A = this chain, B = another copy of it.
Amino acid sequence: MIKSRLFIAALAAFATPAFADGMVENVNGITLDKDGKVIRFSALLIDKEGKISQLLTSKEKAPKQLDFRHDGRGLTMLPGLIDAHGHVMGLGFAALTLDLSGTNSLEEAQGAIKAYAAKYPERRWIVGRGWNQEKWGLGRFPTSADLDAVVADRPIWLERVDGHAGWANSKAMEIAGVTGATKSPSGGRVEMAGSKPSGIFVDAASELVSKHIPAPKPGERDLALAEAQKALLSVGVTSIADMGTTIEDWQSYRRAGDAGWLSIRIFGYAGGIDNMVAIAGPRPTPWLYDDKLRLGGVKLYLDGALGSRGAWLKKPYADAPGQTGLSFLASAEIRNLMVRASMDGFQTAVHAIGDAANADAIGAVEDLAETYTGDRRWRIEHVQIVDPADLPRLAKNGIIASMQPVHQTSDRLMAEARLGPERLAGAYAWNSILKAGGKLAFGSDTPVEAPNPFAGIAAAMTREDAQGQPFGGWIPTERVTREQALAGFTIGAAYAAFAEGKVGSLTPGHRADFILVDTDPLLASPAQIRAARVKETWLGGRPVYKQDDIAKTNTPNDATSR
């Protein structure tokens, strides 16, 4: 007879589904071990739990008893890449809304808006994102009049590429009740054109208009998640740190997990303390769905972005004398929020772009670290402009610098304009951070940039953009090696989310998350790496993407409207 154990704590809710012993062979296998050392192999064995059991070299023999063998066709096998900083639902909704990120002029954008409005006459609002007046060479922010010229009868709201400003037409401002008398809220700015609002709303001011947009329905959220998954898997991303998870986002992730269609791993960082408590409660969630979902930390904002002059600087902007950007939280406030999270065991990830913001974020960690000891892995997100004097404080405090290589190539001309030449010594300073003993994690900030990590690897090793500009790289001393770039998108990003040992390395015991690509990133030219094509993506020992199929399924569902 069994012994009656009461209120059994160990009811194993998540047992392992029936996987198979298998082998993926005939590959140019590359991985880093936990110390960053390169391992090459030609076949990978997967156990019944979907984990890696063994790597084989070409000289080693395959086991006899296998449930399946899959031919890698000589392709390069890499660990599934990890995006250390992205916005899953933002990426998904971007796929469902108007995307202006490919436009190269105001006129081109106006044409796209007009066409979109004509294509979706039933949508009450025209919502989109991705514009960049710098890329357009416009020399000014666009205005509501620029939009009214193409659509005047329906409200339009378009987020800037960095998410730190929004652009409204007159109809949208009318619905929002914004007039010349509207005051800029704390942490935001209503741009003016004479006595009237110009149509541009920076940072916290965006809320004045955006809160009037009908919230998406849960079914639309699920569609967005599906779009995001497809977009990520198709470029080889199998795991992503989701920066700013809301309770609504989380419920969508859980619906996918519960129904069995969650096919990426999401490391959730709640959007503020309220979302953290609503999602996880008294402590981080366990790893759910065979390590596919967890809420382990909180994302906090300390400042804005450079493009909208919201980054908080120690000295005024070179191109806007007197302005030093926006400090979203007083020093005491950010510390209080970090304490609130840390006391319940949550990790903190603090957005800091300007040098003043980074100095304050580092200072906050220094203030807290004595009380909140143990393996905390304090994160700073972006770490773009750092006073060189502050750089060593990152490593000294074990702070993880979560950075986005492509931001450097996108931002460099703007950074030069905003900061002037003398403040660039600590700008996007990847190599300096590593040399000082700091830890890097690399991401894309998708949908601010495209989610393709191969562009990030190429940027990290060259500091040249897609056109090879500037030749030899921008501040080339801050380049990192190919291996360091790969580490940033694999073992570095895994460590940053407490996911080392689970993903990021193709060594035994890890989940069998891997990709088959047509390019060897340790041998190919930067241009070839940018052009790398992912042929297959596997998650937990099962295929979840194959290149030929994506075109069929990657179309936004036109049936949804907002």
Binding site for B on A (CB under 8 A): 1-2, 4-18, 20, 22, 67-71, 217-219, 221-222, 229-230, 247-248, 251-252, 254-255, 257-263, 277-282, 285-286, 288-290, 536, 542-546, 549, 553
Contact = CB atoms under 8 A, between A and B. Distances in A.
A258 B15 contact: no
Contacts of A544: 6-8
A4 B282 CA distance: 41
Contact of A251 (B5, B14, B248, B279): B279
Contacts of A222: 281-282
B258 A553 contact: no
Nearest to A281: B218
Nearest to A263: B7
Contacts of A69: 1
A87 to B, nearest CB: 20
A68 B3 CA distance: 10
Contact of A553 (B7, B20, B260): B7
Given A17-B15, A261-B9, A219 B282 contact: yes
Nearest to A546: B4
Given A11-B17, A218-B277, 9 more contacts: A1-B71, A2-B70, A2-B543, A8-B261, A8-B543, A11-B260, A12-B260, A15-B17, A217-B282
A502 B216 CA distance: 35
Nearest to A23: B1
A247 B262 CA distance: 22
A249 B51 CA distance: 35
B20 A290 contact: no
A229 B17 contact: no
A290 B68 CA distance: 30
Q: Choose among A2, A18, A536 the residue with the greatest number of B CB atoms under 10 Å from its CB.
A: A2
A263 B221 CA distance: 31
A553 B5 CA distance: 13
Contacts of A6: 543-546, 549, 553
A257 B218 contact: no
* Closest 8 pairs between A and B when the two form their complex, measured CB to CB: A218-B281, A219-B282, A12-B17, A4-B543, A2-B68, A11-B260, A15-B17, A218-B282
B9 A260 contact: yes
Contacts of A263: 7-8, 11
A230 B258 CA distance: 27
Given A13-B14, A279-B251, A7 B258 contact: no
A201 to B, nearest CB: 28
B258 A286 contact: yes
Given A217-B282, A281-B252, A285-B258, A18 B17 contact: no
Contacts of A22: 2
A278 B251 contact: yes
B281 A11 contact: no
A67 B1 CA distance: 8
A274 to B, nearest CB: 11
Nearest to A251: B281
Given A13-B289, A258-B13, A7 B229 contact: yes
Contact of A11 (B13, B217, B221, B542): B542
A74 to B, nearest CB: 16
A285 B549 CA distance: 30
A18 to B, nearest CB: 7
Contacts of A221: 281
A392 to B, nearest CB: 39
B259 A286 contact: yes
6 contacts: A11-B263, A11-B542, A218-B280, A251-B279, A252-B281, A258-B285
Contacts of A2: 20, 22, 67-68, 70, 543
A254 B258 CA distance: 11
Nearest to A542: B8
Nearest to A277: B218
Nearest to A4: B543
A557 to B, nearest CB: 13
Contacts of A13: 14, 17, 257-258, 260, 262, 289-290
A70 B5 CA distance: 13
A272 to B, nearest CB: 15
Nearest to A290: B13
A9 B262 CA distance: 9
B536 A4 contact: yes
B17 A247 contact: no
Nearest to A11: B260
A284 to B, nearest CB: 11
Contacts of A282: 217-219, 222
